[in-house]
Homo-oligomer: A and B are copies of this chain.
Amino acid sequence: VDRQAGQEAARYLDTLTKPKGSLGRLEAIAVQLATITGQVKPRVSPPGIIVFAADHGVAEEGVSAYPQEVTAQMVRNFLQGGAAINVFARQIGALLEVVDVGVAQPLEASGLVSRKVRYGTANFLKEPAMSQEEAVAAVEAGIERAEALIKRGIKSLIVGEMGIGNTTASSAMLAAFLCGEKIRGSAELDTEVIGQIQGVVGPGTGLEQERVNHKRSVIVRALALHRPDGNKPLDVLSKVGGLEIAGMAGAMLAAAKHRIPVIVDGFICTVAALLAVKLCPRVSDVLLAGHRSQEPGHQVALSLLDKEPLLDLGMRLGEGSGAAVAFPLVEAACRMIGEMATFQSAGVTDGEGA
């Protein structure tokens, strides 16, 4: 990143025809984008959206309000343009790509990018979700697809997901990152740790309280079984993670390498961002948090990432939808610094106190 470009952008903002600082967060975004891209007048359009789809063996434990077949059905919906992310992608003029990294059934459809690493993860209540080799392959698929879109000219990236059961995997991963040694090190999980784990498990797509409790129990048992090491991201990913989460993290790694700003979506995406940051801490520099999801673990994940979201609209859909809805704010920040007149060029008298 380029701190100097950021400082130059901050100085330039104060010459524009507005009271200093009066565009609030939009000004901070403009400075961050300048720092990321090295451009005082950064650009984020056109954005690219990659939706990674994969299934979760743990779905067979009844941790989702929807049956597993919905993953593949929604992939077809994406390809037909009928899902929320399609609608929002059209609104913001995004290039949208759908990648199968691990849907449980064979899928071939026009427009689908197939990078299937395996047919869904294993049920991590019984065995590790995947091998470390598979985890790496899914991360690499994400890197490859992001680089392909970057070559096609996208100036910012949104990553979304579809995978029935993936809030369960995300909660398990987040708990492993959050509790670290307390999960890996101790012979038995104590009440405090169990409480922390349970605190990052929520209703996902809409479970009732009784089934949230069951989901909590599944996650606690899985973590007690595998004892993932929160400091080893691939250990966490392979034991209790998901293939689409791996792909999302890979895409963020590629974006960071190419200095492409990433607008982070909700809970699952933020856990993928944590994974990416664990793999490479400098990824954090290119991340902007798009929105705060209603899923309770999301605020915990945002705090670990030290990011404040732009929107707080009670959304909890995934697919990248919250980030896509937040995108116009980031675009507004770019247009502001790119297009506004200065006090001098417009012949406007600057303020004193401001």
Contacts and interface: CB of A to CB of B under 8 A. Distances in A.
A221 interface: no
Contact of A335 (B25, B87, B316): B87
A20 interface: yes
B84 A321 contact: no
Nearest to A338: B87
Q: Pick the most buried of A22, A87, A336: most chain B CB atoms within 10 A of its CB.
A: A22
Contacts of A349: 66-67, 69-70, 73
Contact of A87 (B84, B88, B339): B339
Contact of A211 (B22, B348, B353): B353
A313 B24 contact: yes
Contacts of A88: 332, 335-336
Interface in A299-353: 310-317, 321, 325, 328-329, 331-332, 335-336, 339-341, 345-349, 351-353
B80 A332 contact: no
A129 to B, nearest CB: 23
A123 interface: no
Interface residues of A, number: 63
Interface string A214-228: 000000000000000
Contact of A353 (B17, B65, B80, B321): B65
A215 B17 CA distance: 24
Question: What's the number of copies of this chain in the assembled complex?
Answer: 2
Interface string A49-92: 00000000000000001110110011011001011101110110
Contacts of A315: 22-26
A23 B84 CA distance: 9
A195 interface: no
Contacts of A314: 24-25
Given A88-B336, A206-B351, 6 more contacts: A24-B314, A26-B325, A66-B349, A80-B341, A91-B332, A310-B313
Lowest 10 A-B CB distances belong to which pairs? A82-B341, A24-B314, A206-B354, A328-B328, A65-B353, A25-B313, A19-B205, A65-B351, A22-B317, A24-B315
23 contacts: A17-B74, A17-B82, A18-B317, A19-B65, A19-B206, A22-B316, A22-B317, A23-B321, A24-B294, A24-B316, A26-B315, A26-B325, A65-B353, A66-B354, A77-B348, A84-B340, A86-B339, A87-B335, A87-B336, A88-B335, A205-B351, A206-B354, A328-B328
